[in-house]
A and B are shown apart, each in its own frame.
Chain A
Amino acid sequence: MTEAWLFYPMAIVALGGALGMILARNPVHGAMSLVLSFFGIASVYVLLAAELIAALQIIVYAGAIMVLFVFVIMLLNLNEEDLERPRLTPGTIVGGAAALAFWMISFMIFSDLPEQTMPTELPEGFGQVASLGRLIFGSFILPFESTSVLLLVAMVGAIVVAKARI
């Protein structure tokens, strides 16, 4: 079994990229760290037998969404004085403590769970395009159609909000 040998390094890559995102002062560096984190997350998805979602993760998240982020950062053309100064305010301390408390509480809950190992036997075609497509166009057809309307509304809304004069 190579699952553990792949899972723990990739989990470290995902968490390290996420920490790099939050610690980077320049948003461009943060975006690049987040791309690294998304690649780590996608490789964990492959271990979870979700090949299609892993491919979508790289194409949509690391590709499309992060390119949009970097494009907007360059479009806004931030100066040095626009970057935030790291400072310790009560809000910052409370926020960091709340996030840490969330992680510790969830970790305690997960360590109390009965030791459940992943099943080794999987149904035929689990996580493949054909079976996921059959599921989405079958029992998930209503959410799928709502998502298409949502994407249309988001496209119109983005153009209306971002354009100076319509």
Chain B
Amino acid sequence: MGSVPLAHYLALGSGLFAVGFAALLVRRNALVVFMGVELMLNAANMTFLAFSRAHQTMSGQAAAFFVIAVAAAEAAVGLAIMIALVRNRRTLNVDEVDTLKY
């Protein structure tokens, strides 16, 4: 057991992304779908930091910082949309929110 190669960090990142992607596609509760999006952003951050460590430059860490800031903004707006959704439609099921579809 020595140091961990870069590919293992990337595999962990893609595994987290796949789980978030599955939450986005499989679950119908809007809150869980949203948590999946947060997890996908984290997986992208993991890849940024792994390459930043491998190339010994800190630009990847700056990008991860901005991703965290954007995720915070996205969470605020997304949860506000969910509150408005429950107030107007009385549902959190993403299959029932289809006004723009027809």
Contacts and interface: CB of A to CB of B under 8 A. Distances in A.
B52 A84 contact: no
Interface SS of chain B: helix, strand, loop or mixed? helix
A82 interface: yes
A95 B18 CA distance: 11
A99 B1 contact: no
Given A3-B4, A49-B53, A37 B39 contact: yes
Interface residues of A, number: 88
Given A73-B31, A107-B14, A22 B65 contact: no
B19 A18 contact: yes
B39 to A, nearest CB: 6
Interface residues of B, number: 72
B62 A61 contact: no
Given A53-B45, A106-B14, A154-B73, A122 B64 contact: no
A111 B87 contact: no
Nearest to A73: B31
Contacts of A166: none
Contacts of A113: 6-7, 10
B49 to A, nearest CB: 5
Contacts of B23: 21-22
A60 B68 contact: yes
Best-buried of B22, B50, B71 by chain A (most CB within 10 Å): B22
Given A21-B23, A73-B31, A162-B84, A64 B14 contact: no
Interface in B1-60: 1-12, 14-29, 31-32, 34-36, 38-39, 42, 45-46, 49-50, 52-54, 56, 58-59
Contacts of B97: none
A11 B102 CA distance: 43
A33 to B, nearest CB: 9
Given A4-B4, A119-B56, A147 B69 contact: yes
